[in-house]
Amino acid sequence: MTLRSILLHPDPRLKKPCDYVARITPEIETLAADMLATMYDAPGVGLAAPQIGVLSRLFVMDCEKDPEAEPKPLVMVNPEIDWGSEALNTYEEGCLSIPDHYADVTRPAEVRVRWLGLDGKTHEREFDGLWATCAQHEIDHLDGRLFIDYLSPMKRQMITRKMVKLKRDRARA
Ligand SMILES: [Zn+2]
């Protein structure tokens, strides 16, 4: 497994809709393993392929909060939201591509997601709580959308300016 470097906003690759994955190949399996390792290392609860510069519809997540519990990694290829509840939920979201910035985002509280698993089979499952929020946040990444796109233009520009400065400082370091 290889830890991949995570792209930071603003980056044009984070704004592009990603391509569907034609089939599960050894390359996709390696990519998924690298993404899980990178996510756990960060640490984060979700990571989408475009965040490591791969413009394919694939993300990984594990929202298990109990550090004593077994990890519950999920790899979702070509995920689609089949259904979202009318009931909404507001979470303070963050993103590995926008470190140290958090903001409330309101989304459907429950969603049903259909995806292709690494086993080559179609899976379908309902998620709630942080899992539902995370799945929607990650699927947004596959459409080139970030959580700051839900904020007011002023708030979004403020975060983007700070990120530009952070990237400049990191490049100099
Ligand atoms: Zn994110």
Model pLDDT, residue 102: 98
CA-to-CA distance for 78 and 43, rounded, in angstroms?
A: 24
Q: Where are the domains of the chain?
A: 12-172
Question: Is 65's pLDDT higher than 90?
Answer: no
Q: Is 137 annotated as a binding residue?
A: yes
Question: Is 61's pLDDT higher than 90?
Answer: yes
The CATH number of the domain covering residues in 12-172? 3.90.45.10
Q: Separation of 24 CA from ligand 1 center, angstroms?
A: 24
CA-to-CA distance for 119 and 136, rounded, in angstroms?
A: 22
What whole-number percentage of the chain has pLDDT above 70? Answer: 100
Report the 10 Å Cβ neighbour count for 48.
29
29 has catalytic annotation: no
Model pLDDT, residue 67: 84
Q: Separation of 170 CA from ligand 1 center, angstroms?
A: 20
Summarised one tens digit per residue, pLDDT across range 69-100 is: 999 999 999 999 999 999 999 999 999 999 99
